Amino acid sequence: MSLNMMTTIDHAGLELLIARIRETSGFDFSGYARASLLRRSRSYLLKNDVSLSELMRNLNQKEGAAYDMIQDLTVNYSEMFRDPDFFARLKSEVFSYLESFASPRVWVAGCASGEEAFSLSILLREAKLMDNCIIYATDLSQKVISSAKEGVFSLSGMRGFSENYLLAGGNNSLSEYYSVSYGKAVMEPKLRKSIVFSLHDLTGDGVFNEFQMICCRNVMIYFTLEQRKKVFQLLYDSLSLLGFLCLGKRETLRNSGLEDNFRVISSPLNIYQKIQ
């Protein structure tokens, strides 16, 4: 089979693929931005050495084939203390609010491999808030959730994470929070114990708790405008009054229909507080 046959998928083919995935798994990619899906679908075909027609047959005939593809089409990149100025602002303006709750709840939506959840666990622990706080870290991918639960990262990555940690205002050395085993960095059990990792699909699942802070960073950029509005409504419904919503630097509440329900804590960092 030629390379072109393997990698050819146009917009019409993508719509057929989205429909087939929905039929076989129940997961709906229709709200995702098409340019990103098309690029990742072509990459999937090339990596797995299959044509679109072969893939469509596999989705019908092979159990779990749709879920394997979902893992590849969803974006799962993160790093610890990504955007250190964001974490520094949480420490200075948000953590004091969390102190007023007996058992504050934090949701990291679209947690990827767990880097942001562990970052928050470290800073909340240093602020003496972690004893009563619970962090819920969710993603739609079972593969990345399983990886996140292990809390294992490359040592080379930890060097960059350590710099981010200090820039975020960390009180110690990041090395105090992990041990080294077989050339990998393993996060301390006390950090893993404070995080509940579970599956959740922002585009299909509903409210499952009330939170004082929700971090949904660098996730909205992959949705269409219509889907973003639905997800924003879910996040709004999941926030307690005066709770905080944290988005990525390239994301905004504009055109969500909920702008008047929040006050801006930081425009450059996209931190908002629910006021009604």
pLDDT at 34: 85
DSSP 1-50: --HHHHH---HHHHHHHHHHHHHHH----TTB-HHHHHHHHHHHHHHHT-
pLDDT at 145: 92
In the predicted model, is pLDDT for residue 3 greater than 50? Answer: no
C-alpha count within 13 angstroms, C-beta hemisphere, residue 252: 5
Q: Mind listing the pLDDT tens digit for each residue in 41-52?
A: 888 898 888 899
**Res. 87 pLDDT band, cuts 50 70 90:** very high
Mean pLDDT within 138-149: 90
Lowest mean pLDDT among 2-11, 16-25, 226-235: 2-11
Mean pLDDT within 16-36: 82
Structure tokens at 181: 């085993």
Helix (H, G, I), strand (E, B) or coil at 84: helix
Mean pLDDT within 218-226: 85
In the predicted model, is pLDDT for residue 2 greater than 50? Answer: no
